[in-house]
Amino acid sequence: MSGLAGRLLRELRVELGFLTRRALLNVVAASTFTPRPLRWALYRACGMAVRTPNVFPGLQIAGRPGNLDVGTGTFVNTGCFFELVAEVSIGRDCQLGMQTMVVTSHHEAAGGEVSRRPVGRPVRIGDRVWTGARVTVLPGVRIADDVVLAAGAVVTRDCPEPGLYAGVPARLVRSAAPVGAP
């Protein structure tokens, strides 16, 4: 009985730690009453590599906080959602619009059945990327530097070159002018 009780106690401790961290991130840090410097400190204390204090209220985190890496100068607008089953890397000087959603998990299908266990695929967002309101980035996507994602775009595959991507699914609608072009 003591082996079972010990295992249950360890599982309870892990679950309480998870719930405490989740409450700190998704309730306290996400509150409009929490000042940005305190919000930034809470994110860092919970293991998130957030190198910018420019995270507005309402950010919701699901998954492992240590899977998030946000570069300097990046702005995360209100109501964004990051699912952190796998790593999410957001570069420097990005601008994420309201309610931008980054998803990292999917469920594999094998032999006609869909697995119940989520499988993570990392997402990488380059430097100087701008997302409009309610952009959705799906698992395994890589977005190049200097990409603009139009509001409401659903990014289902890589955005390999700088330019404007729009639509569902998102596609390149305008290439960026080369640096130094008139």
Of the listed 107, 157, 171, 174, which one is catalytic? 107
CB atoms closer than 10 angstroms to residue 76: 23
Pairing of strands 119-120, 136-137: unpaired
CA distance 53 to 56: 9
* Active site (annotated) includes residue 107: yes
Contact by Cβ (8 Å): 92, 113? no
Task: Write out the two tokens for 156.
Answer: 């289902």
Residues that are catalytic: 107
